[in-house]
Amino acid sequence: MILAHLSDLHLGHRAFDRWERGVNVRERDVAQSVQRAFDAVIERRPDLVIITGDVFDRPDPSPGALVTLTRGLEALHSALPDTPVVMVAGARDTPRRSADAGALAALDAFPNVEAATVMPRSISYARRSLHVLLIPHTAVLRGPQPLLEPDPRMERNVLVTCGRVAHGEGPGLQVDPAEWDYVALGSDHTHRVVGPGVAYAGSLERVGSAPWREAGEEKGFVTVELPGAEIRFHPLPGRPVVALAPSRAPTGDPERLRARLAEVVREIPGGIDRKVVRVQLRGPSPSDLVALQGLLPELTEAAVHLSVGVERTRTEPWTKVDPLERARAALPPDAPPEAGTLLERVLGDEGPRGGRSVAGDGDGDGEGDGDGLGDGLGGTAGPGAEAPEEAS
């Protein structure tokens, strides 16, 4: 039996305020990555397709995002009519109003599609002797913990979730991987196998708020062969993202600084045409970047986006602060025990950045750049750049 596991599609994702023919360039990139993924999945003819949330970039997806997903599902059903699709809602798919199931719930109307948006869902495919348990983001967040039980009547049991998986007594789902033939995880944009039969598929595109952090990562999906949980990663092409190491640059001399930036950009292998590029300069102060204002439009003519930042000099080491511990410390002495439990549910996915193993950060896109660097200046000028005809 072959499973195809996709994750973190983020349909509708927009970035850089770069528009062509009324469509955000990055939104189009994401839509194309999803189309390529469905085509590649069809070629491999799996017995089950899994999508572990964030299917959309926001709870109220644009019409274009909905069209892209429905076309992909229609193509899959046309080519593989007996292959079911199961998916769980992630944080990005979940509306703030708890009574609203979100746009993903409408996909239940599609043939062979099961979408869990609020409550856990247990599905059995008797002909395949397969049991699938779907745990959406909200079911993990609310508590108490959903009952995670494989079906002993079935030969294969698969757990699918976009929530946090706990370590020891920490917050999140308490999962025993030994009970499952495969555990499909979502919400982390980096593909990684975290244990036997346990994997994040990773995102299909670089859709984090700081795409530079994902510049060196391959994007794609995984297939899993059962029994044995042999996991294979299938990379997919995408928009090139270039994140350069800091380069020395002069300070206090606008002309030399402009010349140095132009030199650094010219040295990028393959140039900057149609790429997303970040340049980091070591030496200048943020105020020195004012001298680059006139040069940026020229340099960004060919790039989708060019960001220029300076490396900040740290006088003191950074100290990591756990938001959950900080919130606990702020509770008054007479706070009821329920207050701490509520904080765990709300902030349990917001632990310290870095050092993560199984747990994702809630939406997988990080927060800020996490590298002590300031963007300073950014540009998206170029042929075809225009304001959107209509923003949704």
Eight-class DSSP state of 313: P
Contact 203, 179 (CB under 8 A): no
**Residue 203: count of CB within 10 angstroms of its CB:** 31
Tokens matching residue 250:
């002069």
- Kind and range of the H or E run holding 25: helix 25-44
The pLDDT profile of the chain, 392 residues, written as one tens digit per residue, is: 999 999 999 999 999 888 999 899 999 999 999 999 999 999 999 999 999 989 999 999 999 999 999 999 999 999 999 999 999 999 899 887 766 778 888 898 899 999 999 899 999 999 999 999 999 998 887 767 788 999 999 999 999 998 677 655 666 688 899 999 999 999 999 999 999 999 999 999 999 888 888 998 999 999 999 999 999 999 999 999 999 989 998 888 888 888 888 889 888 898 898 899 999 888 887 777 877 776 677 777 788 888 888 876 554 555 666 676 677 667 676 666 666 666 665 555 443 333 332 333 344 443 333 333 344 555 543 333 333 333 33
Task: Tell me the domain boundaries of the chain.
Answer: 2-236, 241-312+372-379
Cα 383 from Cα 338, distance rounded (Å): 56
Strand order in the sheet with 130-135: 121-125, 130-135, 156-161, 182-185, 198-200, 192-195
Residue pair 41/77 in contact by the 8 Å Cβ criterion:
no
Residues in the chain: 392
Helices (H), 208-322: 254-266, 296-299
Separation in Å, CA 269 to CA 175, 240, 261, 280, 336? 45, 12, 15, 16, 59
CB 17 within 8 A of CB 53: no
Q: What is the pLDDT of residue 252?
A: 81
Give the closest residue to 73 by CA, choosing from 162, 13, 124, 6: 6
**Tokens coding 283:** 């030496």
Please state which CATH class domain 2-236 belongs to.
alpha beta
CA–CA separation, 20 vs 60, rounded Å?
23
- Tokens 């986006």 locate to 305
Tell me the C-alpha distance between 297 and 291, whole Å: 13
> Looking at residue 320, what is its pLDDT?
64
Residue 13: name the closest of 38, 1, 30, 33 by CA. 30
Q: CA-CA distance, 312 to 300, in Å (whole number)?
A: 24
Upper half-sphere CA count for residue 343 (Cβ side, 13 Å)? 17
Give the residue among 292, 311, 283, 330 at the shortest CA–CA distance from 375: 311
- Which tokens go with 242? 């270039």
How many helices and strands in the chain, by DSSP H and E?
A: 7, 19
Q: 144 preceded by cis ω (within 30°)? A: yes
Specify the pLDDT at position 299. Answer: 72
What is the pLDDT at residue 102?
A: 82
- 291: which DSSP letter? G
